[in-house]
Amino acid sequence: MESSLKIACFADVPYEPPKWLCKPYFPIGKLTLIQGDPGCGKTAFICKVAALTSKGGRLFDNAVAQGNVLILSVEDDSSTLRGRIEASGGDVSKCFFVEEAYDVTFCHEGLQGAIHETQAKLVVFDPIQSFFGAEINTNLSNQTRPILAYLAQVAAEEECAIVLLAHMAKAKEGKSNVLRALGSVDIPGAARSVLQIGRSPSDNNQVVVCHVKSSNARKGDSFTYTIGDKGGVTIGEYTQLTANDLDTASARVASGVPYEDEPVVRIARQLMEENTFIGCIGYETLSEIAERVLGKSPYSNGKGWLSAFKRVARELYARDNIAVGFDIKKAESDYVIFGEHKEKGRKQIRGISLRKTTPIDLDALLGKDDEK
């Protein structure tokens, strides 16, 4: 039985290695997604990339291919964007923009012609949600998928790197950082490279870039930058911070409660001052301890305690070297608090565990001390 489908053999297809605007962050002929919370510095960063592209600079040891830039933005006016590109050391004579970009969609008949006319090596859409069109529901894969496939085809035909800037949805436990962009999962799915940007947990003036997806090369290392006068960007240094760290910092800002003032942080610190490990501590016991440490218990049931500890678990580990175990079901452990030894019963209960950890010296672990 013959098939009506066209079938070919991979052996007949010549291999073409990936091309790069800047390896491994920005592939040519593909889509790149930059996602972050509003106001975190996404536009300032892409203006720095535009500046580097306009002159053919370097991002650390990675060469940035020289070429023209085309920006479509509905969030910043042309004067602001020019100022940011110039402040980042760019050649604005190599950078172009589409006037009245709010009338343009990804499927606009003049889009590919504009890319071709400007011979753009880098094309930017800021933000992605503004260019699908009013009739498109960006939460539906069957509506976003064909549009993004067409846009990827344009990138391939014009041999340019198309970069899409996107606002992020709130982080959810168990959800991949790659899928944080607002809208359908096909948006990050169509991108061959995804960068997440956020404020540093330790320095609000510093912004961190994390490479959370790379389909054409090994993911690049995270790095920092700062934003100066006129929005100019100065690239900092590599960092070990991850996208999860950025999510934690973002959630902390959104909560409006300083880390040190979190009730569970104060309780965990008090317990770990006098204990190195508590195999199981029940929620009723936590309420009793809270009354001594805080004057009253902030949570009336186990669900409240569990939710609170899960919310700060990553910060407890990073800041205080305290590891939290969840959904423990066993006999409650003895512990010491305020110098008093508390003996608990042997009845099985549900609770959490607390353990004091030792900070990991990554440089020593990787043998970097031997190189000095």
Residue 323, pLDDT > 80, answer: yes
Output the average pLDDT for the chain.
89
The per-residue pLDDT for range 160-173, each reduced to its tens digit, is 999 999 988 655 44
Mean pLDDT of 18-43: 95
- CB count within 10 Å of CB 303 equals 10
Residue 183, pLDDT > 80, answer: no
Whose structure tokens read 């110039």?
Answer: 86
Give the count of alpha carbons within 13 A of 26, CB side only.
25
What pLDDT sits at residue 127?
93
> Please, where in the chain does CATH 3.40.50.300 lie?
14-252
Task: Give dist(CA 285, CA 371) in Å, integer.
Answer: 50
Please give the model's pTM, rounded to 2 decimal places. 0.79
In this structure, the chain runs to a length of: 372
DSSP 199-231: E-SS-TTEEEEEEEEESSSPPPPEEEEEE-GGG
Residue 327, pLDDT > 90, answer: no
Give the residue with greater pLDDT, 51 vs 252: 51
- Each residue of 201-222: b (16+ CB within 10 Å) or e? beeeebbbbbbbbbebeebbeb
Determine the topology of domain 14-252 in CATH.
Answer: Rossmann fold (3.40.50)
Residue 359, pLDDT > 70, answer: no
The per-residue pLDDT for range 67-115, each reduced to its tens digit, is 999 999 998 999 999 999 999 999 999 999 999 999 999 999 999 999 9
What pLDDT sits at residue 362?
43
